[in-house]
Amino acid sequence: MRRRLLALICVTGSLVTGCGMLPGDHERKTVTVWLMKDSASQEFVQRFTEDFERTHEDLRLDIRVQQWTGIVEKVRAALAADSGDGPDVIEVGNTQVPLYADGGRLVDLSLESMRDWDEDKWLPGLAQPGKDGNQQYGVPWYAASRVVIYRKDLFQQAGISRPPKTRDEWLADTEKLNSGGNQGIYLAGQDWYTLSGFIWDEGGELAEEEDHEWRGTLDSPAALRGMDFYRRLQALGEGPADADEEHPPQAGVFAGGKVAQIIAVPGLARSILQKDPGLQDKLGYFPVPGRTAGRPGAVFTGGSDLVIPENTDDQFAAATVVGALAGAKWDTELARTMNYVPNKTTLAGAVAGEEGVAAMAAGAAHGRATPSTPQWADVEADNPIKEYMTRVLGGADPAAEARRASRKITEALAPDVG
């Protein structure tokens, strides 16, 4: 609270010289920012830094690129360290925010989010994981979500003139495509992120919180309908029932055979074209279809949020950097540079010229994230959803397997509850 009062005093008393500076004192405050590898190009970082320091004469940036491997423990150590030596702003995966917010290690940015940063326009799949009750800890930066990557030539050969708009159309088209030695779709049996979208579309959840306790809900009627749709779609190809989309990598499967469709982020097309450059003009993209034509299907939204450690020396300066990075100007520039979805639904037009990114933006507008609890990482560590999917695709009773998987999710989310 003391830091927030100081920050408010700084805003009121000196918009030009910055917090902690006396009149005539031109020494710049350094703000240390951790960004993740490959989230932003070196050229983008350089342009942002030059513009920010030119327009904020009291601040300078020290942007340090971090590796994803081992980042959770590194961030946790930084959040627990003494004030003054660690980062002031950190980029984190959107679903990681609850891990770091647990224990009061992050600054509550609710006031800035409501007053300055248009939180009502944020993508829900980025904003929701960054929120705990009424407190906003993670500020959405960019998003990426799955779309359908398809072979235009195989669609044409099957007499399909346009991508499907509804799930029923999608099933019918995929059945047509699944003939003559072609796979209608390559969908691995354990692609639980894709399954999550179908469950959300039906009104179901992976897990729900009631009276501060979480329980798995794969056995709800809505979630079972989502699994049934996944089963019918997955059967229209040769995806393995006992593996996920990385085993084997689906880019290689798509490039190496006559596969009409896969579900993936648009950026996977680069890997496909490296393996088969002959597909350069044959790839297309469309949003995962929804139940009705007027709304794309729900999809898992990955991406990054920006957070401020509680132990920063200057919350006001850190919030200034977050506001600039996540603001319309530079968020749009990042999306265009890196083929991301911007953090606000109102900025989707900025990427409308890129077919893959435009499809991704349409889906991300209805995107979701995994349950917002620090214990969800324990669920993913030994993921019972994957085992559930494999068993159902192998012919086991869906309701019984869903109850089994739901119990395992409940145990992982509340291990002290019998």
Over the stretch 40-82, which tens digit does the pLDDT of each residue have? 999 999 999 999 999 999 999 999 999 988 999 999 999 999 8
Compute CA distances 53 → 50, 320, 321, 386, 403, whole Å: 5, 11, 10, 48, 56
Q: Are 336 and 47 in contact (CB under 8 A)?
A: no
User: Which pLDDT score is estimated for 20?
Assistant: 38
Q: Are 114 and 131 in contact (CB under 8 A)?
A: no
- Buried/exposed code over 179-210 (b: 16+ C-beta within 10 A; e: otherwise): eeebbbbbbbbbbbbbbbbbbbbbebbbbeee
Let me know the angle formed at the C-alpha of 272 by 271 and 274, rounded to the nearest 5 degrees: 65
Task: Express each pLDDT in 324-346 by its tens digit.
Answer: 999 999 999 999 999 899 999 99
Stated as kind and residue range, the H or E segment containing 195 is helix 192-201
- Over residues 362-374, mean pLDDT: 90
Q: Are 217 and 204 in contact (CB under 8 A)?
A: yes
Confidence of residue 11 (pLDDT cuts 50, 70, 90): very low
Q: Smallest Cα–Cα separation from 81: which of 311, 403, 412, 407? A: 311
d(CA 56, CA 54): 6
Task: Express each pLDDT in 239-285 by its tens digit.
Answer: 999 999 999 999 999 998 899 999 999 989 989 999 999 999 999 99
As a residue count, the chain comes to 418
Task: Express each pLDDT in 212-236 by its tens digit.
Answer: 899 999 999 999 999 999 999 999 9
Q: pTM for this structure?
A: 0.83
